[in-house]
């Protein structure tokens, strides 16, 4: 659903030195729109930025949304603003919940893997699987117990007995654990994982040995450095509906050029993760650098993310 609704910042709780949990309530009373596991919302911040955060509370708690925000060392103003400027009592607009990371109904068995603050969409999945008496296991990888968000919540929850914590493992140790966790594949199983780019890539590589592709479901919370296949040269973008043409230099994204020239586009993560800026391609071949579309969708070359993807040739025609 398009549009926004106003919410009240009801509580801000510190989970770790880097992560805060924020409780959002309806600004005008009543209930908030329903959501299901894997959903996220966009926060429209007072500094003009829009940032996307997963909902970690129970979908059954209809009058509250709960999100978690990690203050990133390389923050471009989103997480830093949330940590330093957002206060209890503030009212801010948010999007309606959207879900790009839904659970497949009726699985026989589920493996849940979370890296760091990637626990946020995974946590409600575990709780729903527990309520439904589904066979599942949760593996939660963090740097240390002190940097483990929701540790007390998990310890006091029915999911505690199905949760394995993995603290401070080196990359090669994580890889060995993944090999143990993911082998062998059992028919009817599904894998859900969320975390930073290197964590996701390691798990996907290991799962690729014996898990079917359609049984592996993932969501990034931060992007890995993009690997361009077409170079970072400039190119032309032509907007088919607007009848306008713009040059995109090597040091700017398509989204930045369009916004700079007054072309209104929806933008959120600016990392190729969320799909908010996904746009239909009329002509030309995109250089896909996002993590939102699948390999099959990339191969079709009929849509692209404007925030990170570029052009393999000299010209793109977009349905704008």
Q: Look over the chain and give the mean of its residue pLDDT values, rounded to a whole number.
A: 92
Least confident of 38-47, 71-80, 231-240: 71-80
pLDDT, tens only, 201-253: 999 999 999 999 999 999 887 655 444 444 578 999 999 999 999 999 999 99
pLDDT at 230: 43
User: Which one has a higher pLDDT value, 125 or 30?
Assistant: 125
Contacts for 166-172: CB closer than 8 Å, 24+ residues apart: 166/139, 166/140, 166/141, 166/142, 167/142, 167/143, 168/142, 168/143, 168/144, 169/141, 171/198, 171/202
Domain boundaries, the chain: 4-99, 109-222, 235-318
pLDDT at 227: 47
Least confident of 42-51, 63-72, 214-223: 214-223
Fold of the domain spanning 235-318: Ubiquitin-like (UB roll) (3.10.20)
Residue 241 has which token pair? 């509906």
pLDDT, tens only, 173-205: 999 999 999 998 999 999 999 998 889 999 999
pLDDT at 270: 85
Residue 283 has which token pair? 């002509």
Residue 276 has pLDDT above 90, yes or no: no
Evaluated on CA atoms 87, 91, 92, 97, the torsion sign reads positive
Residue 101 has pLDDT above 70, yes or no: yes
Residue 166 has pLDDT above 60, yes or no: yes
- Using CA atoms, how far apart are residues 107 and 97, in angstroms rounded to an integer? 24
| Average pLDDT of span 297-312 | 95
Q: With DSSP H G I counted as helix, E B as strand and the rest as coil, what are the percentages for the chain, rounded to 5? A: 25, 35, 45
Assign 126 a pLDDT band (cuts: 50, 70, 90).
very high
- pTM equals 0.81
Fold of the domain spanning 109-222: Rossmann fold (3.40.50)
Fold of the domain spanning 4-99: Elongation Factor Tu (Ef-tu); domain 3 (2.40.30)
Residue 152 has pLDDT above 90, yes or no: yes
What residues contact 127, with CB distance under 8 A and at least 6 apart? 58, 157, 158, 159
55 DSSP assignment: B
């Amino acid at each position: 659903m398009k549009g926004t609704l106003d919410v009240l910042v009801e509580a801000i709780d510190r989970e770790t030195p880097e992560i805060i949990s924020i409780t959002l309530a309806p600004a005008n009373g009543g209930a908030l729109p329903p959501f299901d596991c894997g959903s996220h919302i966009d926060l429209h911040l007072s500094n003009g930025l829009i940032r996307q955060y997963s909902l970690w509370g129970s979908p059954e708690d209809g009058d509250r949304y709960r999100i978690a925000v990690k203050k990133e060392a390389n923050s471009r103003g989103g997480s830093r603003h949330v940590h330093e400027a957002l206060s209890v009592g503030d009212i801010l607009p948010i999007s309606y919940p959207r879900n790009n990371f839904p659970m497949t109904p009726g699985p026989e068995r589920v493996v849940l893997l979370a890296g760091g603050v990637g626990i946020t969409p995974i946590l409600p999945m575990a709780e729903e699987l527990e309520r439904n008496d589904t066979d599942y296991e949760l593996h939660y990888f963090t740097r240390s117990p002190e940097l483990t968000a929701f540790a007390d919540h998990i310890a006091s929850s029915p999911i505690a007995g199905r949760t394995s914590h993995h603290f401070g493992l080196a990359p090669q140790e994580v890889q060995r654990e993944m090999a143990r966790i993911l082998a062998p594949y059992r028919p009817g199983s599904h894998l859900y994982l969320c975390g930073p780019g290197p964590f996701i890539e390691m798990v996907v590589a290991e799962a690729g040995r014996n898990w079917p592709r359609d049984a592996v479901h993932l969501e990034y919370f931060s992007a890995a450095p993009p690997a361009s296949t077409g170079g970072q040269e400039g190119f032309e973008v032509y907007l088919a509906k607007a009848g306008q043409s713009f040059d995109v230099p090597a040091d700017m994204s398509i989204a930045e050029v369009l916004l700079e020239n007054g072309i209104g586009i929806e933008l959120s993560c600016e990392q190729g993760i969320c799909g908010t800026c996904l746009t239909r391609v009329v002509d030309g071949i995109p250089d896909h650098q996002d993590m939102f579309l699948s390999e099959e969708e990339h191969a079709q070359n009929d849509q692209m993310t404007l925030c990170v993807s570029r052009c393999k040739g000299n010209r793109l025609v977009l349905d704008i």
